[in-house]
Amino acid sequence: MQCNTALGKYRLLKPLGRGSNAEVFLAQSVYDPSQQVVVKRIHAHVVENPRFRQLFEAEVRSMANFKHPYAVQFLEANIDDPLGPCIVMEYVPGITLEELLRRHRTLDVERVGRLFGFLGHALQAAHEAGIIHRDLKPANLMVTNVGTVHESLKVMDFGFAGFAAKPHIQLAELTGHGPIFAMGTPGYVSPEMIRGDTVDARSDLYSAGIILYELLAGRLPFEYDDQERLLSAHVKEPPPRLSKVGAGHVPPGVEGTIQLLLSKYPNERQQSAFEAVAMYSKALREDLWQRAAPVDWEPELPTAEDYTPQARPAPDLSLDPYRITHEFEAFMPERLAAAKLKGFVDDVGGQVLASEPGLIRLRVGVPAGYKEPTPGSGIFGWLRTRANPSVPRGQEPIEVELHMEKPDPTQPRLSVVVAFCPLKAYPPVSRSGWRDRCDKLNAMLRQYMGS
């Protein structure tokens, strides 16, 4: 890395993590080495979005205007920093709730209730300020003063989930091979996000219910390795009773609080974080809300302008007569789109070539033994071309490009332009037959994407 200083005054010390939108570093002030902060550097593929500056500034205003004792504090930002667009946040010593779970597997009912009180206060304040987290999970919750009477909790990444306007479906999600970033893990996503419904603050309450379930049971309510089946369970399957998964010690009132949070539709759940914490409190006969109340704090409402999506230019897909293009919209979050696309690829026997933000390339119908053309000319280039196996007339391989954008990054809606083109080694013999095959493949893809 050529530059190791952010905003001219924060020296990067070590990486803390990497997600789909940014990489995170621990840093210290060059003027006061005792002051440590967290620096988030936005990934280059996010910056390439033509509306990035508008969205970045709106997100920064939102974060700057939301302050709460139980939320990690925004300090400053610079979109034109030599290091790249950066956001500087408060450094919170402690461990994530994810790490606490790794150490203990489960927590007792009273301790979970106390942590829920802090989380409830942060969510209530954010929701009243018009801010939805959308990515609540143990990795985004920092526990401070761990194991002491002063144990508390802070929520990370409020206002940060909406940066990426180009969906990034990772190659491992399409092939089933390799690591997948934990960011945006489907284990905590609400049913309405999966269905593509309008998402409001009650989506965060569902995620909070999943977290409570995991803290008490030592496992998620739905544990499927297949991502599409996992997402379907959020929408259709009732979560197992805690007593059925080894958590029979949980009082009925706490069980009822969690089961209500995990209702499939928002209007069936508690309607606020305060209401959810109050139900948990009643089960323990302890006022968790009052116990967790921050001292001498008054909420501040945000003044950030609403993000208004603008018309986007269509990608340049050339004028090749054999290049067939279609456009459609898919109403689903990225993780569900990833599961649907993997099913499509598997069922058509496709081969994924690449996946990058906003673009997926794959091939269908490539015969065994096909070799990519290599640079060359003359008789040797001709021999290499002739070495490829033949295919029956009308069954020429098809290369598929999926160009995807999120017109409004805050909504689970994808705008898709799909392009079909032939491989140079297998030119189509019939233009009408080629178009018919591409149209049928597009119809199949739209079925998978629910469009």
Could you report the per-residue pLDDT of 428-441, keeping only the tens digit for each? 988 889 999 999 99
Q: Are 257 and 279 in contact (CB under 8 A)?
A: yes
Q: Is 313 within a domain?
A: no
Residues 355 and 335 both lie in one domain = yes
pLDDT score for 90: 92
Res. 299 pLDDT band, cuts 50 70 90: low
Asked if residue 312 has pLDDT above 50, the reply is: no
- Binning pLDDT at 50, 70 and 90, where does residue 313 land? very low
What single-letter DSSP state applies at residue 306? P
| pLDDT surpasses 90 at 296 | no
User: Which amino acid is located at 199 in the chain?
Assistant: V
CATH number at residue 70: 3.30.200.20
215 and 101 fall within a common domain: yes
Say if residue 255 is in the same domain as residue 273. Answer: yes
Q: How confident is the model at residue 70 (pLDDT cuts 50, 70, 90)?
A: very high
Note whether 281 and 153 are same-domain residues. yes
Q: Where are the beta strands (DSSP E) in 308-432?
A: 324-330, 351-356, 359-364, 398-405, 414-422
Same domain, 175 and 115: yes
- Of 11, 41, 118, nearest to 72 (Cα)? 118
Q: What's 213's domain CATH number?
A: 1.10.510.10
Closest CA to 192 of 208, 207, 213: 207
Q: Judge whether 183 lies within some domain.
A: yes
pLDDT of 52 > 70? The answer is yes
d(C-alpha 266, C-alpha 202), whole Å: 6
What value does the mean pLDDT take over residues 172-188?
A: 65
Confidence bin at 66 (pLDDT 50/70/90): confident
Check if the beta carbon of residue 181 is closer than 8 Å to that of residue 234. Answer: no
Per the prediction, the chain carries an average pLDDT of: 84
Last residue of a domain, one of 278, 295, 312: 295
Q: How much is the pLDDT for 373?
A: 67
Residue found by looking up tokens 């990608």 in the block:
315
Percent of the chain with pLDDT over 90: 50
Predicted confidence (pLDDT) at residue 307 exceeds the cutoff of 50: no
Q: How far is CA 153 from the centre of its chain?
A: 22
Average pLDDT rounded to a whole number, residues 127-141? 87
What is the helix (H) or strand (E) element at residue 78, kind and residue range? Answer: strand 74-78
Residue 303's pLDDT is 41
- The answer to whether residue 349 is domain-embedded is yes
pTM exceeds 0.75 for this model: no
pLDDT at 245: 92
Based on the fold, state whether residues 130 and 218 are members of the same structural domain: yes
Q: Are residues 108 and 14 in the same domain?
A: no
Distances (CA, A) of 101 to 94, 143, 144, 246, 404: 14, 11, 14, 16, 36
Query: With bands split at pLDDT 50, 70 and 90, how would you rate the model's confidence at 306?
Result: very low
* Region 238-265 average pLDDT: 94
In this predicted structure, what is the pLDDT of residue 337?
Answer: 85
Provide the pLDDT for residue 420: 94
User: Given pLDDT bands bounded at 50, 70 and 90, which one contains residue 310?
Assistant: very low
Residues 87, 97 share a domain = no
Residue written as token pair 């409020």: 158
Give the CA distances from residue 216 to residues 122, 207, 210, 369, 379, in Å, rounded to whole numbers and listed in that order: 21, 15, 10, 53, 70
Percent of the chain with pLDDT over 70: 84
Average pLDDT on 89-98 reads 92
Residue 365 is which amino acid? G
Statement to judge: residues 37 and 126 lie in one domain: no
Q: DSSP of 149-203, one letter per residue?
A: TT-EEEE--TT-TT--SS----HHHHHS-S---STT-GGG--HHHHHT----HHH
Count other C-beta atoms under 10 Å from residue 279's C-beta: 17
Cβ atoms of 386 and 361 closer than 8 Å: no
Residue 29 lies in a domain: yes
* Residue 316 placed within a domain: no
Give the E-state strand segments of 261-413 in sequence order: 324-330, 351-356, 359-364, 398-405
Closest residue by Cα to residue 79 from 1, 7, 167: 7
pLDDT of 384 above 60 = no
Name the band, by pLDDT with cuts 50, 70 and 90, for residue 442.
very high
CATH at residue 436: 3.30.310.80
Residues 403-418, mean pLDDT to the nearest whole number: 80
| pLDDT score recorded for residue 161 | 52
Answer yes or no: is 399 within a domain: yes
Last residue of a domain, one of 91, 116, 145: 91
**68 has pLDDT over 50:** yes
C-alpha span between 119 and 96 (Å, rounded): 13
Note whether 274 and 336 are same-domain residues. no
* Both tokens assigned to 222: 């739905």
Helix, strand, or coil here: 26? Answer: strand
Which active-site residues does the annotation give?
135
- The per-residue pLDDT for range 19-32, each reduced to its tens digit, is 667 788 999 999 99
The half-sphere exposure of 33 on its side-chain side, counting CA atoms within 13 A, is 1
HSE at residue 348, side-chain half, CA atoms within 13 A, is 27
Nearest of 73, 80, 79, 93 to residue 142 by alpha carbon: 93
Write out the residue range of the structural domain in which residue 33 sits: 1-91
Angle between helices 252-261 and 201-217 (to 10 degrees): 140
Q: How confident is the model at residue 101 (pLDDT cuts 50, 70, 90)?
A: very high
Query: For the ranges 45-54, 137-146, 151-160, which has the lowest average pLDDT?
Result: 45-54
Q: Which carries the bigger pLDDT value, residue 379 or residue 72?
A: 72
Lowest mean pLDDT among 113-117, 120-124, 302-306, 347-351: 302-306
Please report the pLDDT score of residue 20 as a whole number: 63
Q: How confident is the model at residue 301 (pLDDT cuts 50, 70, 90)?
A: very low
- Classify residue 25 by burial, with Cβ atoms within 10 Å: 0-12, 13-18, 19+: buried
Residues 410 and 388 in one domain: yes
Do β-strands 398-405 and 359-364 pair in parallel, antiparallel, or remain unpaired? antiparallel
Q: Are residues 112 and 239 in the same domain?
A: yes
pLDDT value of residue 128:
87
Highest mean pLDDT out of 36-50, 77-91, 345-359? 77-91
Number of structural domains (the chain) is 3
On whether residue 49 sits in a domain, the answer given is: yes
CA–CA distance, 282 with 269 (Å, rounded to integer): 17
Residue 156: what pLDDT?
87
- Which of 158-162, 208-212, 326-330 holds the top average pLDDT? 208-212
> pLDDT: is 375 or 421 the higher one?
421
Question: Which stretch of 103-107, 203-207, 405-409 has the lowest confidence by average pLDDT?
Answer: 405-409
| 308 is a domain residue | no
